[in-house]
A and B are shown apart, each in its own frame.
Chain A
Amino acid sequence: MSLPSSTTSSSPGSSGPTHNATSAPRTGAHRTGAQVMCEALIREGASVMFGIPGGCIMPFYHAMWEYRDALRHVLCRHEQGAGHAAEGYARATGQVGVCIGTSGPGATNLVTPIADAWMDGTPLIAITGQVPSHLLGTDAFQETDITGITVPITKHNFLVTRADELPRVFREAFHIARTGRPGPVLIDITKDAQLARLVPDWDVAMDLPGYRPTGFHPELAHAYGAVPSNADAIEACAALLHAAARPLILAGNGVIQGGATRELRALAEQTGIPVITTLHGLGVMPHDHPLALGMPGMHGWVHVNRAIQQCDVLLNIGSRFDDRVTGKASTFAPHAKVIHVDIDAAEIGKLVRADIGIVSDCRPVLEALAVSLSAATATDATRDRRPWLTEIARMRDDHMPRQGYTRRDRSAPLMPHDVFDAFNANFRDRQDWRVVTDVGQHQMWAAQLIDWSRPRSHITSGGAGTMGFSLPAAMGAAIADPERTVWVIVGDGGFQMTSCELATIAQEGLTNLKIAVINNGYLGMVRQWQQLFEGRRYSGTPLTGPDFSKLAEAHGLRGITVDHADDAVLAIQTAWAQHSCVLIDFRVEREANVFPMVPAGRSIGDMMLTESADASQHDSSPRVASHHATSHHAASPAASPSVSPSAKA
């Protein structure tokens, strides 16, 4: 992963006003801790960092100037944006993302992206400045115990007070972040350690005796169905799959992180076992593959959730049985023998009992299963899975029409699904795109309706559900891969949480980043819950915003506003063709809902397919942003559902 050594021994800062006329130091020479930090990053393969300077991280920024040809720094407008940008970079490439903040508020602003990376297994290095070591613990200016704060949301963190620890700490930090189940690692470095001079020892060994990122843990064998080794578990797993009449594969983020997409498709095709994909697994199976069923869970398709409830063997590969997937866990897949393959031993049996647990990276398991199953089929006729596939197809045919949003009335308001249809029309036959979604209704519509076909083409905040994730994460993805256009699909609520990063996009000239705001003037997912379960008490959900097109233009970007379904395809096409970041403000039907829906805490067999009849009348008021301003006096649960709170003065 490290760059050729010539990169570090050359003179990166040969031009420009450096503090050191002789530019970066030679190998073996004294250098500052801050210079060592830069060289360590380069050695670990980092080439882009997202951050904001401040007092206690200034020595690092001082040194960074010398290395700017090898290490690009992207100044963000808020450390949260820097953290999400590093996450987007990591999720697009599989490489470790790097973000930087100063001590105190700079560090605490990184907490949300660190927690997000923790939940979604995103490899992230967060570098924070810290007050000089002699001031630690004195409540010095901008001192915050960031290592203490981030203990529960990092794989590990380090407080470095001595410069000679830096080479080892950076090596360990990157190793921890990128191996096993990837995740965030924070390195907090005191200002004096950044300033101290040393001759770095780059050959220093890692000291991580307790870190076993992969592999079977014999002490936990009893919890995994008493299988004594992975090899035996694979045989048991193959036997279960071979004998199954109604098997299913549940593929998650681990398949993408483990680079096992091809192996997964091969196993599915070899065995004829249909595949369902979690939110983070979208793209591992092409949407039009005959064995690709789609997404399960709270907003999963009916036939997918029903298939889970009927299957007799469920192979979960690289997914952690999040409650948004399982619904009420005790009723999940009640007839199934469950095989759980996860790189993190702690996930096995945590939420759903596993009949067989395998602690491993996904790819070797899929490869071994393919071998094992081909041996099994050689000696025994392959089980006829056609009745099972026919049954799933029947369930899909029964319910897809109600899941779809077929436009019948061309004069009807722009519906969110029109926007996603327009995206599919533009995405068809193209490979040069990614989508980064935020959190809420648009995220679920995108997951359901976009024709996902490639791994890493879909990036979102899953486990943490961080609104405001998408715009900065897309910056990271756009910088990581300039050849692909990155589409931000974001609600008007989430967009306003991090929209300050429009300035970063403009400053960095990210022309391959395009933004689609699904603007309904509500915090829509919360509003949907309020409509369905709380008697339409729209408390705290009506939302105004600026004219988003003009906001984009104010940043020197382009803006388009779309009110009609007929304009959606062309708007996307136009935005894509422009050599500029373009924002499209899609002013959609305000009270469209995401279906199917499993109410929180219920069994996934328990799906709502529509609003109840009396709650189905939509607000037909104009959807311009200025109308969103009118506050609404809390409607009681008994209030007439036809009253449109936001349309009342």
Chain B
Amino acid sequence: MSQHTLIALLQDRPGVLHRTVTLLRRRGFNIASLAVGRSEVPGISRMTLVVDASDATQVVSQLDRLVEVIGVTDVTNEHAVQRETALAKIVASPSRLHQLVDIVAAHGARVLHVGDDEMIVEITDTPERVELFIAFIRPEGLAELMRTGRLAMMRGRTTTRLEAPAHYRDQADGAPHEEVAA
């Protein structure tokens, strides 16, 4: 079964995440990752959802049926920019920590904190490279891992805010509204 990456625009209201997750659970779709937060338009959230499904048509159309879901786009084959952030705590001897500072930097990770026998690093990269990095640090004493889930954004001037209604956009502090129809 393959994975599909979907971007959804939601009204920012209490319970909207509950509705989304309840629907996915009850229709039997497995959520691989889910990241949601406020969008550039006040009152509207944007969600990146990764589901395990060979065909995402049902996921898209069922999600789209929710009243508070403004639109859903399957960006799996859209060559979208995809990123994930992970925080990792590594517990190791002071000497090994000292070596690791340079090694994790070579992976593109940032060292956020170094203590006597532990450190916290952050990596923001493609989901594949985040996986590789975690595989690398796991034997080094990975003590705690926190991941954001995948974020995705389509390239080019195409946006996933096409269906955001005018009265929401008007509240967006004069942000430019140049959008190209998909």
Binding site for B on A (CB under 8 A): 147-148, 151-152, 155-156, 159, 176, 207-211, 217, 219-220, 222-223, 344-346, 348-350
With both beta carbons as reference points, the residue of chain B lying nearest to A211 in the complex is identified as: B67
Q: B147 in the interface, Cβ–Cβ < 8 Å?
A: no
User: Across chains A and B, which 9 residue pairs bring their CB atoms closest together, nearest first?
Assistant: A209-B165, A210-B70, A346-B61, A156-B67, A223-B57, A211-B67, A345-B61, A210-B69, A151-B22
Contact A346 B70 (CB under 8 A): no
- CA gap between A217 and B69 in the complex, in Å: 14
Size of interface on B: residues with Cβ below 8 Å to A: 31
Q: Which A residues are CB-close (under 8 A) to B10? A: 210
1/0 contact string of B167-182 vs chain A (CB within 8 Å): 0100000000000001
Binding site for A on B (CB under 8 A): 9-11, 14-15, 18-19, 22-23, 26, 57-58, 60-62, 64-74, 163-165, 168, 182
Q: Which B residues are CB-close (under 8 A) to A148? A: 15, 18
Contact A210 B57 (CB under 8 A): no
With known contacts A147-B15, A209-B11, A219-B72, A152–B23 Cβ distance under 8 A:
yes
Contact B65 A345 (CB under 8 A): yes
Q: Work out how many contacts link A and B, with CB atoms closer than 8 A.
A: 65
Q: Which A residues are CB-close (under 8 A) to B19? A: 151
- CA gap between A418 and B22 in the complex, in Å: 48
Q: Which A residues are CB-close (under 8 A) to B22? A: 151-152
Provide the main secondary structure of the chain A interface. Answer: mixed
Question: Given contacts A210-B69, A210-B70, A217-B64, could you give 8 more A-B pairs where the C-beta distance is less than 8 Å?
Answer: A151-B18, A151-B19, A210-B66, A219-B74, A220-B57, A220-B60, A344-B65, A346-B64
Contact A209 B61 (CB under 8 A): no
Contact A209 B26 (CB under 8 A): no
Contact B67 A219 (CB under 8 A): no
Q: Which A residues are CB-close (under 8 A) to B57? A: 220, 222-223, 349
Q: Which B residues are CB-close (under 8 A) to A209? A: 11, 70, 163-165, 168
- CA gap between A207 and B168 in the complex, in Å: 10
Contact B61 A220 (CB under 8 A): yes
- CA gap between A335 and B25 in the complex, in Å: 34
Q: Which A residues are CB-close (under 8 A) to B71? A: 210, 219
With known contacts A151-B19, A209-B165, A350–B58 Cβ distance under 8 A:
yes
Q: Which A residues are CB-close (under 8 A) to B26? A: 152
A174 to chain B, nearest CB (A): 13
- CA gap between A176 and B11 in the complex, in Å: 16
With both beta carbons as reference points, the residue of chain B lying nearest to A148 in the complex is identified as: B18
Q: Which B residues are CB-close (under 8 A) to A159? A: 14-15
Q: Which B residues are CB-close (under 8 A) to A349? A: 57-58
Task: Give the most central of A151, A155, A208: most B CB within 10 Å.
Answer: A151
Q: List 14 A-B contacts (CB under 8 A).
A: A147-B15, A152-B26, A159-B15, A176-B67, A207-B11, A209-B70, A209-B168, A210-B67, A210-B71, A219-B74, A345-B64, A346-B58, A348-B61, A349-B57
Q: Which A residues are CB-close (under 8 A) to B74? A: 219
Contact B67 A346 (CB under 8 A): no
- CA gap between A222 and B182 in the complex, in Å: 14
B181 to chain A, nearest CB (A): 10
Q: Which B residues are CB-close (under 8 A) to A350? A: 58
- CA gap between A90 and B112 in the complex, in Å: 62
B64 to chain A, nearest CB (A): 7
B39 to chain A, nearest CB (A): 13
Contact B70 A219 (CB under 8 A): no
With known contacts A345-B65, A346-B58, A219–B73 Cβ distance under 8 A:
yes
B83 to chain A, nearest CB (A): 23
Q: Which A residues are CB-close (under 8 A) to B60? A: 219-220
B171 to chain A, nearest CB (A): 12
Task: Give the most central of B10, B61, B64, B71: most A CB within 10 Å.
Answer: B61
With both beta carbons as reference points, the residue of chain B lying nearest to A344 in the complex is identified as: B65
Contact B68 A210 (CB under 8 A): yes
A206 to chain B, nearest CB (A): 11
- CA gap between A223 and B72 in the complex, in Å: 15
Q: Which A residues are CB-close (under 8 A) to B164? A: 209
- CA gap between A152 and B22 in the complex, in Å: 7
Q: Which A residues are CB-close (under 8 A) to B72? A: 219
Q: Which B residues are CB-close (under 8 A) to A176? A: 67
Partner of B65, one of A147, A207, A208, A346: A346
- CA gap between A345 and B14 in the complex, in Å: 26
